[in-house]
Amino acid sequence: MLRLIIADAELQTVPENMARDRAIRNIAEKNHKKPTEMLLDSNYMHTTIDKYFPGESNRRGRPDIIYIFLEVAMESILNKNKMLDVYVHTRGNYIIHINSETKLPRSYNRFQGLIEDLFKKRSINYNGNELLSMREGAIIPFLKNLDGKTVALSPEGTSSSLSTIINQDNLNVIIGGFSQGDYISDIYGNFPAYKIFNEELTIWSVGMEVISQYERYASLLG
């Protein structure tokens, strides 16, 4: 089993201190939503994010990169063989679990609606199956309670090949859920970190490489 854990993901609803801003209220009214129940999305809220969180508008509010990563992961051969478990830990210390049988929306807008619903309900069910669940929790205690070896991937880590890192059945791999900056949680103080390429990669590229290597390790590829 491979567990992929997206840590410090920039996935959150609009913070209270932004909710009364005219630009945010306009977006909420247009979409018939409450401001604090909308996902923070820098694609539409870049200027407002920079107003309330100076210098963070290129990092905060990136549900789009989580969406792309999840589309890649959930459609993988590994997941179809029920050998992949995916968790997303958010900036606000929520831990989301995605059931391997979950079929994510193909539309980004529908994905936004799904995650907004998850933030409200904490659980998404269909035909008696829990497809997505969310609970409060810090990432370090959660990771330390997992079975198997846990490693982090980061441009700041020690150079290594994926074939060296992925060398056992029960493996937990941490990937940063942000497009700029570094882990907020104390990942480096608790787990070994490795660099798999000499340039920064997107989280979906890293996820794809890790999944593909595990598929080779598990002899799932011809």
Shared domain check, 168 and 200: yes
Low-confidence stretches of the chain (pLDDT < 70) are 222
Shared domain check, 158 and 88: yes
Judge whether 222 lies within some domain.
Answer: no
Shared domain check, 199 and 116: yes
pLDDT at 182: 97
Cα–Cα distance measured from residue 139 to residue 146, given in angstroms and rounded to the nearest whole number: 11
CATH number of the domain to which 143 belongs = 3.40.1280.10
Shared domain check, 71 and 39: no
Judge whether 57 lies within some domain.
Answer: no
pLDDT at 77: 98
Shared domain check, 103 and 194: yes
Judge whether 75 lies within some domain.
Answer: yes
Shared domain check, 118 and 66: yes
Q: How many CB atoms are closer than 10 A to CB 30?
A: 9
Shared domain check, 143 and 47: no
pLDDT at 221: 79
Q: Which two tokens stand for residue 48?
A: 């407002």
Judge whether 203 lies within some domain.
Answer: yes
Neighbouring C-alpha atoms within 13 Å toward the C-beta of 8: 18
pLDDT at 3: 99
The residue range of the domain holding 140 is: 2-10+62-217
- Count of the separate structural domains present in the chain: 2
pLDDT at 143: 98
Largest Cα separation within the chain, whole Å, is 56
pLDDT at 97: 99
Instruction: For 30-91, give the DSSP string.
Output: HHT--GGGSBP-HHHHHHHHHHHSTT-TTTS--HHHHHHHHHHHHTSHHHHTT-EEEEEEET
